[in-house]
Amino acid sequence: MLDLSGPRIMGVLNVTPDSFSDGGRFDRPYAALTHARSMVEAGADIIDVGGESTRPGAAPVDEEGELARVIPAIEAIAKEFDLPISIDTSKPRVMREAVAAGASLVNDVNALRAPGAVETVAGMGVPVCLMHMQGEPRTMQQSPHYDDVVGEVKDFLLARARTCVEAGIRPEAILFDPGFGFGKTLQHNLALLRSLPSLCETGYPVVAGISRKSMIGMLTGRDVEQRLAGSLAAAVLALEGGARILRVHDVAETRDAVRVWEAVRLTGGPLESP
Ligand code: 9MG
């Protein structure tokens, strides 16, 4: 199980040629390890390895192609570091092989809806992050619609959690993620960020992935490489809303922001008198 006694930072490692935020620079195992190393040194608690881009409009990748990208990277990271590695995938076979290679958490933007995915995770006994997505990555941003985005996202995740628990996944092994940017307009994303406490009330630890996303671009008018300040503001707002894991690209800067937040909000922090 993950230690979630304080906020945790999940560093994003996209091992894809078309990744939206790193331009595919980390598509070889050596480069992936180098990037993982820099994130660990900067204070990452978890490394999230993904081999299929989920950016809007991204083309799907087949199983063999995804495995060829992620497995060498996971093996190399697991050999050098003793920290949780999560596998960002929706494919049961990739989940299985990634866990055999050293991953210890499944991060599924499809919330284990692929045939066999729930059973696969139940059988492996690893924790899973269930993320909400309306539609599929290729088309999800075309016309997202909700009557009540916060209620619908929460109901969806609770229903997925019920299915998981019925299949044998322990409730303590389940994390929720509202899926910022996945079939959502800017207003949907803002409503979800504002209402994060309502998702946290479910009792499932909440993961927030807002780093560098288009919602930050829309609010600031900045390109993807210039969204750090906006991403940090969103990260702190997510912590205020109760998020326990922040999925980010800029680990060192997020670590600083988390330290400041902890000092003010957590009892026993450096601002407490002895
Ligand atoms: C893979 N991936 C891309 N964005 C994400 C997000 O917001 N949350 C999670 N859990 N995974 C994501």
- Residue 47 falls within a domain, yes or no? yes
pLDDT tier for residue 270 given thresholds of 50, 70 and 90 = low
Q: Each residue of 112-135: b (16+ CB within 10 Å) or e?
A: bebeebbebbbbbebbbbbbbbbe
> Residue 179 C-alpha to ligand 1 middle, in angstroms?
6
List pLDDT tens digits, range 36-78. Answer: 999 999 999 999 999 999 887 778 899 999 999 999 999 999 9
Question: Per the structure, how many domains does the chain have?
Answer: 1
- Residue 139 falls within a domain, yes or no? yes
Q: Which of 160, 213, 244, 255 is catalytic?
A: 213
Name residues whose C-beta falls within 8 Å of residue 23's C-beta, 6 or more positions apart in sequence: none
- Residue 194 falls within a domain, yes or no? yes
Q: Look at the alpha carbons of 123, 124, 128, 131 in this order and tell me if their dihedral is positive or negative.
A: negative
Reply yes or no on whether 265 is catalytic. Answer: no
Question: Is 88 close to ligand 1, i.e. is its CB under 6 Å away?
Answer: yes
Whole-angstrom distance, CA of residue 83 vs CA of residue 205: 19
Residue 203 has pLDDT above 60, yes or no: yes
- Residue 274 falls within a domain, yes or no? no
Asked if 64 contacts 107 with a C-beta cutoff of 8 angstroms, the reply is no
Question: Is 209 close to ligand 1, i.e. is its CB under 6 Å away?
Answer: yes
List pLDDT tens digits, range 223-243. Answer: 999 999 999 999 999 999 999
Q: What is the pLDDT of residue 135?
A: 86
What is the chain's mean pLDDT, rounded? Answer: 93
> Residue 270 C-alpha to ligand 1 middle, in angstroms?
32
Q: Please state the length of the chain.
A: 274
Name residues whose C-beta falls within 8 Å of residue 122's C-beta, 6 or more positions apart in sequence: 164, 167, 168, 169
pLDDT tier for residue 121 given thresholds of 50, 70 and 90 = very high
- Residue 204 falls within a domain, yes or no? yes
Which residue segment(s) compose the domain that 63 sits in?
A: 8-267
> Residue 147 C-alpha to ligand 1 middle, in angstroms?
23
Hey, which of 21, 61, 157, 247 would you mutate to test ligand 1's pocket, going by the most ligand atoms within 8 Å of its Cβ?
A: 247
Residue 18 has pLDDT above 90, yes or no: no
pTM as predicted: 0.94
CA distances from 67 to 15, 52, 87, 116, 224 (A): 10, 10, 11, 17, 27
Residue 120 has pLDDT above 60, yes or no: yes
> Residue 265 C-alpha to ligand 1 middle, in angstroms?
26
- Residue 3 falls within a domain, yes or no? no
Q: Nearest C-alpha to atom 8 of ligand 1 is from which residue?
A: 209
Q: Pick the closest to residue 77 from 21, 125, 38 (CA basis).
A: 38
- Residue 130 falls within a domain, yes or no? yes
The CA-CA-CA angle for residues 192, 193, 199, to 5°, reads 60
Q: What is the pLDDT of residue 20?
A: 43
Residue 174 has pLDDT above 80, yes or no: yes
Reply yes or no on whether 247 is catalytic. Answer: yes
Q: Any idea what the CATH number is for the domain that residue 128 is in?
A: 3.20.20.20
